[in-house]
């Protein structure tokens, strides 16, 4: 970059002497295109693939003055979104590459539409009819109730479920030994069933003779009652106790049902002691399920317990892209970001909205979704729930409460390890969620200078790229910020 930075710095030097403002553009300075290419390469490392493809790939550095960089976006919505949400990310990368402290301006300009890039290994598109998801060498009777669409090929992995996904990969490699039992919990429509059944599909792909049993817990109870009535309890036990992998959905439904819990306890023990894999899902942690016997709670907690949160913005972007691709509908990046910003519900709600849009598009004879269709035609985004504006004080208060601290301590001068870690995360969220200037964040957190805030931001950013626990904490705090 020295060959690029030196002439630019020299140009700025003479401009200041002569009091003349010279603007560098991609037409007058071919190095500008190379500067932006290098900046985008750095941004690829910093942000999630779905974020880069939707928000950053379709931008261009169009001019550079002595301290101002103009970044072009194809429409007003994308320009406003980048200004509000990703300005600090753009600035950090561009400052680093240009070796300068630049002011950013997001402008609207028609740009060539880039070719849609693949989402990468963790953001898989749905298979097309010409390319089946995988070639399974087993029959549907062996699969035992697994949904054909709930595979790893169709699973979107993001910050909200990457730890659970990693655990699932461990189970696929060593069923019955690694993470046994696996207990997956989370709210409605976050993908628990999909992940659990994906494990079953992958185990069958690797070993077609593997005996998989998937069923809702309510089905287990109903079949037990029927077996007692028909005096076929031995057949019932054989059905469930001769599986290589037991997948039980919504285990909370056996709570308070004494005899059903008794039978499931013995079924669980039989399989677990035999080295068979057991995977369960619930809407709560085992120790939070009222009416669940202590001996079951202790066994469920004896393996690995993981939670899946509601999808964050980046994950919603990937889900929406995948869904439209599976429906053979092309989309503008701005339309995807608009939907992801507007609907922050669970995955099922998002898919429902997409189905409505698909029907609308089909009725008009088009297979392309534009931002204009969403904002000015048949789609009423005003009915979608929108969160109230978040203030800096509210964000700091939520962070303090999350870490069980007083706000005065979080913003104070003390430097105990727990305080420093909480302060770093708070600074990071003030920068990334509210897009506040470095100096303002430093002022809010006890009068710290901008270099301390930069250090905090970069440290958290590094932790997010390597530490699943940090990702989980940040996601939990974000949820509290926008719901409390």
CATH of 392-483, picked from 2.40.50.100, 3.20.20.70, 1.10.1750.10, 3.30.365.10, is 1.10.1750.10
- Tell me how far the alpha carbon of residue 483 is from its chain's centroid: 18
Mean of pLDDT values over 263-275: 94
CB 441 within 8 A of CB 431: yes
* The two structure tokens encoding residue 400: 């303090």
* pLDDT at 101 (0 to 100): 87
The answer for residues whose C-beta is within 8 angstroms of residue 395's C-beta and 6 or more apart is: 426, 429, 430, 433, 434, 481
Mean of pLDDT values over 414-432: 91
Per-residue 3-state assignment (H helix, E strand, C coil) for 326-391: HCCCEECHHHHHHHHHHCCCCHHHHHHHHHHHHHHHHHCCCCEECHHHHHHCCCCHHHCCCCCCCC
Where are the CATH 1.10.8 domain residues in the chain? Answer: 313-383
Fold of the 313-383 domain: Helicase, Ruva Protein; domain 3 (1.10.8)
* The two structure tokens encoding residue 37: 């290419």
Mean pLDDT, the chain, integer: 80
Where are the CATH 3.40.50.300 domain residues in the chain? Answer: 140-308
Write out the CATH class of domain 140-308.
alpha beta
Helix (H, G, I), strand (E, B) or coil at 161: coil
* pLDDT at 251 (0 to 100): 95
Q: Is the pLDDT reported for residue 2 higher than 60?
A: no
Q: How far, in Å, CA of 56 to CA of 49, rounded?
A: 10
Mean of pLDDT values over 29-42: 83
Helix (H, G, I), strand (E, B) or coil at 278: strand
Positive or negative CA dihedral for 265, 268, 269, 270? positive
Helix (H, G, I), strand (E, B) or coil at 310: coil
Other beta carbons less than 10 A from residue 155's beta carbon:
19
pTM greater than 0.75 (yes/no): no
Where are the CATH 1.10.1750.10 domain residues in the chain? Answer: 392-483
Q: Which of 85-99, 203-217, 247-261, 378-392 has the lowest mean pLDDT?
A: 378-392
Q: How many Cα atoms sit within 13 Å of 45 on the Cβ side? A: 9
Q: What is the pLDDT of residues 132-189, one digit of tens each?
A: 434 444 444 344 678 888 999 888 888 788 889 989 999 998 899 878 999 999 887 8
The DSSP secondary structure of 17-69, one letter per residue, reads HHT----EETTT-THHHHHHHHHHHHHHHHS-HHHIIIIITT-EEEEE-SSEE
Q: How far, in Å, CA of 310 to CA of 330, rounded?
A: 26
Q: Is the pLDDT reported for residue 9 higher than 80?
A: no
- Pairing mode, strands 103-108 and 68-73: parallel
The answer for residues whose C-beta is within 8 angstroms of residue 146's C-beta and 6 or more apart is: 197, 200, 201, 204, 212, 214
Fold of the 2-108 domain: GMP Synthetase; Chain A, domain 3 (3.30.300)
Of all residues in the chain, the percent with pLDDT exceeding 70 is 82
Where are the CATH 3.30.300.180 domain residues in the chain? Answer: 2-108
């Amino acid at each position: 970059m020295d060959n690029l930075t030196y002439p630019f710095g020299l140009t700025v030097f003479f401009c200041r002497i002569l009091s003349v403002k010279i603007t560098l553009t991609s037409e007058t300075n071919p190095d500008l295109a190379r500067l932006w290419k290098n900046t985008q390469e750095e941004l690829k490392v910093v942000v999630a693939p779905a974020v880069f493809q939707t928000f950053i790939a379709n931008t261009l550095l169009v001019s550079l003055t002595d301290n101002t960089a103009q970044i072009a976006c194809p429409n007003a919505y994308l320009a406003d979104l980048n200004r509000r949400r990703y300005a600090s990310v753009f600035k950090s990368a561009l400052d680093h590459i240009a070796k300068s402290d630049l002011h950013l301006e997001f402008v609207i300009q028609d740009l060539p539409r880039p070719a849609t890039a693949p989402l990468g290994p963790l953001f898989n598109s749905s298979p097309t009819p010409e390319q089946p998801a995988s070639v399974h060498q087993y029959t549907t009777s062996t699969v035992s109730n697994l949904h054909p669409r709930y595979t790893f090929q169709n699973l979107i992995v993001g910050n909200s479920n990457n730890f659970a996904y990693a655990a699932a990969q461990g189970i696929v490699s060593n069923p019955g030994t690694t993470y046994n039992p696996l207990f997956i919990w989370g709210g409605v429509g976050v993908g628990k069933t999909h992940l659990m059944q994906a494990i079953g599909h992958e185990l069958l792909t690797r070993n077609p003779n593997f005996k998989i049993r998937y069923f809702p817990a309510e089905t287990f109870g109903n079949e037990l009652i029927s077996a007692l009535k028909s005096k076929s309890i031995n057949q019932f036990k054989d059905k469930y106790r001769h599986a290589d992998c037991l997948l039980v959905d919504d285990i909370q439904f056996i709570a308070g049902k004494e005899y059903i819990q008794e039978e499931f306890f013995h079924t669980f023990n039989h399989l677990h002691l035999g080295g068979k894999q057991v995977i369960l899902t619930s809407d709560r942690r085992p120790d939070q399920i009222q009416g669940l016997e202590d001996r079951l709670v202790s066994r469920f907690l004896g393996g690995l317990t993981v939670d899946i949160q509601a999808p964050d913005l980046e994950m919603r972007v990937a889900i929406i892209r995948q869904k439209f691709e599976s429906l053979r509908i092309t989309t503008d990046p701005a339309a995807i970001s608009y939907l992801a910003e507007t609907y922050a519900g669970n995955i099922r709600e998002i898919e429902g909205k997409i189905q409505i849009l698909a029907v609308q598009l089909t009725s008009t004879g088009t297979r392309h979704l534009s931002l204009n269709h969403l904002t000015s035609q048949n789609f009423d985004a005003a009915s979608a729930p929108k969160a109230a504006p978040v203030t800096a004080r509210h964000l700091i208060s939520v962070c303090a409460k999350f870490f069980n601290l007083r706000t005065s301590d979080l913003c104070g001068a003390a430097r105990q390890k727990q305080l420093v870690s909480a302060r770093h995360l708070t600074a990071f969220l003030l920068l990334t969620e509210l897009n506040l200037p470095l100096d303002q964040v430093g002022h809010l957190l006890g009068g710290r200078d901008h270099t301390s805030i930069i250090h905090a931001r970069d440290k958290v950013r590094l932790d997010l790229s390597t530490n699943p626990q940090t990702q989980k904490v940040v996601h939990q705090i974000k949820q509290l910020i926008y719901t409390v």
